[in-house]
Amino acid sequence: SLPTIFVITPTYVRLVQKAELTRLSQTFLHVPQLHWIVVEDSLHKTPLVTNFLMKSGLTYTHLHVPTAKERKLQEGDPSWLKPRGVEQRNEGLRWLREDRRTQPGEDSHQGVVYFADDDNTYSLQLFEEMRSTQRVSVWPVGLVGGMKFESPVVEGGKVVRFHTGWRPSRPFPMDMAGFAVSLKLVLANPDACFDGEAPMGFLESSLLKGLVTIDELEPKADNCTKVLVWHTRTEKPKMKREEALQVQGLGSDPAVEI
């Protein structure tokens, strides 16, 4: 049977949340044997995400963990100051290790783990590429790091360096969207996780350096020559008119979920 792809997605409350989750879930509906692990950055599971997942038609697990206050970006902080979604991805890993430990059978250790932010754009082909991951597979990511794309550079079927605009000396200078890890490797290294204290740009490295070396990386997407995922970012919607109308008591009905 096809190895299951476990997709871990951190998400948080904001105006565009349901739109992002809709886009993402409707991509995932086209992927066979996918298990979506949605981790809300919140003290409680929200009704919006709970109802959304229930109606999604996907196989999913709904988790939540709030980002510690001192780790949360404050209004006005530059977006690169602190990594986002760290505790949530780690909670996804924790659940996965616990759940698999208690599942009987060989098959329960067969699978692939992918970290999918809720705002990126994913080609269906990407999931077919990652499904054969033995340890850690890698591929290009479009529109990231101030570049058209970042990518591992492959020579003779091996990753030999990285095409990146910034600090190529990082252990693994790759975006979160640019790799997948086999479930076996995740289970064999029970302490491997993301380090929220890692300096900017080192979050991906903090997980990967506990799991593989560069020469073990498995290049996908035609030896890393095809872009199948894009680090898109959604503009924050302007609420100028909404706020003006609210003053007159004519704001949009708060009972309508958006």
Q: 106: which residues sit within 8 A by CB, 6+ positions away?
A: none
Cα 193–chain centre separation? 14
Report which residue's Cβ sits closest to ligand UDP: 85
233 binds ligand UDP per the rule CB under 6 A: yes
CB of 85 to Mn ion, least distance (A): 9
Binding track, positions 106-145, relative to Mn ion; x by CB under 5 A: -----------x-x--------------------------
Number of amino acids touching Mn ion (CB under 5 A): 2
User: Among residue numbers 59 through 88, which ones bind Mn ion (CB under 5 A)?
Assistant: none
Q: Residue 10: name its binding partner from ligand UDP, Mn ion, none (Cβ under 5 to 8 Å by kind).
A: ligand UDP
| Residue (73 or 214) nearer to ligand UDP, CB | 73
User: Among residue numbers 200 through 229, which ones bind ligand UDP (CB under 6 A)?
Assistant: none
User: Among residue numbers 99 through 128, which ones bind ligand UDP (CB under 6 A)?
Assistant: 117-119
Return the CA Rg of the chain. Answer: 19
79 binds ligand UDP per the rule CB under 6 A: yes
70 is catalytic: no
Binding site for ligand UDP (CB under 6 A): 9-12, 41, 67, 72, 79, 84-85, 88, 117-119, 233
